[in-house]
Amino acid sequence: MSTTIDLPILAEAPSPAPFPNTSPTEATGDGRTVYIETYGCQMNASDSEIVLGVLDGRGYRSVDSADKADVVLLNTCAIRDNAERKIHERLSALQHLKKGNSDLVVGVLGCMAERLRAKLLEKELVDIVVGPDEYRTVPDLVDKALHGDKGIAVKLSRVETYDDITPVRTEGISAWVSIMRGCDKFCTFCVVPFTRGRERSRNVTSVVDELKALQDQGFREVTLLGQNVNSYRDDVSGADFADLLAASARAVPTMRIRYTTSHPQDMSDKLIDTMAEWHNICKYIHLPIQSGSNRILELMNRTYTVEHYFERMDRIRAVMPHVAMSTDIIAGFCTETEDDHQRTLDAMRRVRYDGAYMFAYSPRENTKAWKMGDDVADDIKSRRLQEIIDLQHSISAEINAAEVGRLHDVLVEGPSKRNGAEWKGRSDTNKTVIFPHIGETTADYVVGDTIRVRITRSTSATLFGERVE
């Protein structure tokens, strides 16, 4: 995933924002300020925009740092132990703010809120705890907290999709749109089915209407989000994910369409063909393999074999030869042997991913795998993970080196972080491309334009090039 898993994505809303969800009788925020800090995956980034949408509707104003805020919310992740540890540390660091301002409301939202529930309220500092399906309650819980009452809302829902809430978006040209929520796959290592509940999808019309509004507002790229986007199903029209993609591509021809994340079991021929058919659907697929060993995949309840995965990959590449691929890999799952690990490395050599998100297995309480034990010693797990990372770096570097001389259509995002004389953008294949910027007055492109760039050099993470007319 482009998921900067475990990295805080700071969600700062433009202010003053138009408050599309305002209803005059409900404006209780009274100009109070809220700061939300987001951890975990893109679903959380998108949810934070929904929470800000709910709060905007009640008269709250969003600010860009905790010390300017009346309400501080942490939207959290529970996927691995270190993701939760980070939140405990952050909460400790926030203690000084609360000491200086006893009216400050501190809330924990998201997957860790859902997993730990009332346990989080035992921390003196925490006033409210809200799970992913209860974000509509945030304003009321904040009101109560201001009167000294702690509050919790962690019920999961079979129907909540927030499709009537207008998210407060922060990115200039690129937007997240959640199209489905929850996960029914129950991989044995994973907390998501417990923290996010059952799968449910928005209908095609509501998604397409949102995309058209985004296009009108000047957004140039959208990422359709779900824990398993390709198990999307519109119960009203019967549309599947391929149908939704085609309807989206048709509705917003000037926008690039991306999606994440997909499951190998649901990677149908129809979906692959639909991607190939539409020029504005990006040729980039994140398809987590997790392990190259069938024995481990079975223990993980991934529901596919390595052979199935390779067959899907071959089909994808036959139809889209220049597609970019990324994956997720877990090192050191219970009972993983040296032979299993070698199979993972072999699978990586066979597929040759453009990029990968690689993790050491972290046992999660109440999952099936928790009961299987965590029997791969830490030093072995770390060594295997390092071998996976090293192999991926060398493959990424080789793949990117082969890009030299090629042309890419790059969506211009703005100045690069390191050097003001250079700008950055992203290729259709989701690679960051850096190019010299000739200055505001002479450049004939602006942020949001698509320009053609010839690649001149590369690293394992980045392509560098020059604009060609």
**In degrees rounded to 5, what are phi and psi of residue 127?**
-95, -40
User: Is residue 111 within the footprint of ligand F3S (CB under 6 A)?
Assistant: yes
Among 19, 39, 189, 309, binds ligand SAH (CB under 6 A): 189
Q: Is 357 helix (H, G, I), strand (E, B) or coil?
A: strand
Tell me the closest approach of the beta carbon of residue 221 to ligand F3S, in angstroms: 21
**In degrees rounded to 5, what are phi and psi of residue 105?**
-100, 130
> 58 vs 286, which CB is nearer to ligand SF4?
286
Q: Which region holds residue 122: left if phi is over 0, alpha if psi is between -120 and 50, else beta? A: alpha
User: Is residue 229 within the footprint of ligand F3S (CB under 6 A)?
Assistant: no
> 244 vs 463, which CB is nearer to ligand SAH?
244
**In degrees rounded to 5, what are phi and psi of residue 281?**
-95, 120
The alpha carbon torsion through 6, 8, 14, 17 (nearest 10 deg) reads 60
- Which of ligand SF4, ligand F3S, ligand SAH, none does 433 bind, CB closer than 5 to 8 A by kind? none
User: Is residue 290 within the footprint of ligand SAH (CB under 6 A)?
Assistant: yes
Binding track, positions 36-65, relative to ligand F3S; x by CB under 6 A: ----xx-xx---------------------
Tell me the closest approach of the beta carbon of residue 99 to ligand SF4, in angstroms: 38
Helix residue ranges, H only, 127-201: 138-146, 192-196
C-alpha closest to that of 302 among 311, 313, 292: 292
C-alpha closest to that of 57 among 136, 113, 3, 124: 136
Residue 175 to residue 169: CA distance in whole angstroms: 7
Q: Are 290 and 330 in contact (CB under 8 A)?
A: yes
- Which of ligand SF4, ligand F3S, ligand SAH, none does 111 bind, CB closer than 5 to 8 A by kind? ligand F3S
Residue the block writes with tokens 């942020």: 447
Give the residues across from 451 on adjacent strands.
410
> 78 vs 173, which CB is nearer to ligand F3S?
78
- Which of ligand SF4, ligand SAH, ligand F3S, none does 77 bind, CB closer than 5 to 8 A by kind? ligand F3S
User: Is residue 71 within the footprint of ligand F3S (CB under 6 A)?
Assistant: no
Give the residues across from 407 on adjacent strands.
454
Scanning 189-197, 217-225, 258-266, 328-336 for contacts with ligand F3S by CB under 6 A, the matching segment is: 189-197
Residue the block writes with tokens 């020029």: 279
- Which of ligand F3S, ligand SF4, ligand SAH, none does 195 bind, CB closer than 5 to 8 A by kind? ligand F3S
The alpha carbon torsion through 310, 315, 321, 327 (nearest 10 deg) reads -40
Residues whose CB falls within 8 Å of the CB of residue 338, separated by 6 or more in sequence, listed in order: none
User: Is residue 247 within the footprint of ligand F3S (CB under 6 A)?
Assistant: no
Tell me the closest approach of the beta carbon of residue 196 to ligand SF4, in angstroms: 8
Residue ranges binding ligand SF4 (CB under 6 A): 183, 185-187, 190, 192-193, 227-228, 263
Residues in the site for ligand F3S, rule: CB under 6 A?
5, 40-41, 43-44, 77-79, 110-111, 191-192, 195-196
Residues in the site for ligand SAH, rule: CB under 6 A?
79-80, 189-190, 192, 227-228, 261, 263, 288, 290, 328, 330, 359, 361-362, 364
